[in-house]
């Protein structure tokens, strides 16, 4: 989906925001939509996970909010925005797999509820969104994209699914035996409760479309969002 010029040389593509709770299908859906529409992709959760990894690597007390925020500001972070080739490099180390480990998932909410860390990461997320505009735009997934990070997104989606479906999906995704049932429930139920103290992803924001994926396949969700995106695209209003 080509961008369009607003005059003055600024090229504005399109921003699609996909927010929702853990296991609702945000990442896989957003990647699929980005691939289908030729847009870039940003997994903002990976930025919080990368800071968590770095803070642990540096032996920081995660409750020392000032020290963790300083780490976030100093972290050299490289995120792929290619939906088909995702990687995360933190201070020169490829942490793409490491940031998905249970030891990170269990602690990331502590980082994500550090408001100074949020301020720094939202600044970086917005830079990435701006850099993607000349190439046509970007699909951004997380918890606060429509409400905070990119309030001017042309399409805002709140992607939900019932708790049992989210538990089942996350469970099926993780290697057998890699997490206990308690760890899985912690990753979904406890983390949602923690995350919702700093981001409102339980109720659709103004202008957002709510999609309940409980009984939809991944492809069906990608189809729906892709169609909505084409209708919302700035170019769809060209005369
Ligand atoms: N609509 C769906 N139906 C069934 N499985 C899905 C659906 N959407 C995503 N999944 C699968 O559920 C798991 C979690 O999806 P993910 O995109 O990581 O969710 P989130 O980013 O919201 O935590 C993945 O294995 C993904 O392939
Ligand atoms: N924009 C965002 C993205 C993620 N977070 C929080 C929510 C989670 O606890 C962590 C990790 O997010 P991530 O999307 O990787 O988690 P799930 O894949 O949804 O389980 O960061 C946030 O507060 N704001």
Residue reference for tokens 């020290």: 67
pTM for this model (two decimals): 0.93
Q: How far is the CA of 18 from the centre of ligand 1 (A)?
A: 13
Q: What confidence tier does 10 reach under pLDDT thresholds 50, 70, 90?
A: low
**For 1-5, 52-56, 131-135, 170-174, which range has the lowest pLDDT when averaged over its residues?**
1-5
Q: What percent of the chain has pLDDT over 70?
A: 93
Kindly give the pairing relationship between strand 14-19 and strand 155-160: parallel
The predicted pLDDT at position 24 comes to 95
Residue 39 vs residue 233, higher pLDDT:
39
Residues 6+ apart with CB under 8 A from 236: 230
Residue reference for tokens 């069906």: 220
Q: How far is the CA of 1 from the centre of ligand 2 (A)?
A: 27
The predicted pLDDT at position 239 comes to 43
pLDDT tens-digit profile of 68-104?
999 999 999 999 999 999 999 999 999 999 999 989 9
**Pocket (CB within 6 angstroms of ligand 2):** 22, 27, 44-45, 48-49, 108-109, 112, 142-144, 191, 195, 198-199
State the chain's mean pLDDT as an integer: 91
pLDDT tens-digit profile of 134-167?
999 999 999 999 999 999 999 999 999 999 999 9
Which of 10, 220, 23, 42 has the alpha carbon at shortest distance from 145? 42
The predicted pLDDT at position 125 comes to 98
Kindly give the pairing relationship between strand 88-90 and strand 77-79: antiparallel
Which of 205, 210, 207, 238 has the alpha carbon at shortest distance from 224? 210
CB atoms within 10 A of CB 197: 10
96 token code pair:
């793409």
Residue 11 confidence (pLDDT) above 80:
no
- Ligand in closest contact with the CA of 175: 1
């Amino acid at each position: 989906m080509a961008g369009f010029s607003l005059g003055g040389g600024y090229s504005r593509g399109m921003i699609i925001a996909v927010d929702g709770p853990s296991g609702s299908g945000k990442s896989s859906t957003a990647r699929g939509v980005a691939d289908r529409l030729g847009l870039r992709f940003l997994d903002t959760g990976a930025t919080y996970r990368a800071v968590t990894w770095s803070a642990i690597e540096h032996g920081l007390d995660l409750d020392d909010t000032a020290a963790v925020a300083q780490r976030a500001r100093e972290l050299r972070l490289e995120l792929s925005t290619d939906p088909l080739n995702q990687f995360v490099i933190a201070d020169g180390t490829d942490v793409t797999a490491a940031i998905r480990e249970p030891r990170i998932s269990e602690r990331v909410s502590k980082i994500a509820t550090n408001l100074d860390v949020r301020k720094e990461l939202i600044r970086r997320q917005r830079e990435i969104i701006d850099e993607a505009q000349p190439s046509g735009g970007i699909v951004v997934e997380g918890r606060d994209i429509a409400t905070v990070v990119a309030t001017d997104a042309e399409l805002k989606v709140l992607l939900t699914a019932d708790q049992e479906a989210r538990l089942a999906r996350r469970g099926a995704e993780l290697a057998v035996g890699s997490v206990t049932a308690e760890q899985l429930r912690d990753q979904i139920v406890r983390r949602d409760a923690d995350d919702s103290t700093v981001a409102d992803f339980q109720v659709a924001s103004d202008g957002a479309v709510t999609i309940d994926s409980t009984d939809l396949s991944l492809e069906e969700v990608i189809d729906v969002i892709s169609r909505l995106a084409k209708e919302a695209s700035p170019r769809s209003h060209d005369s």
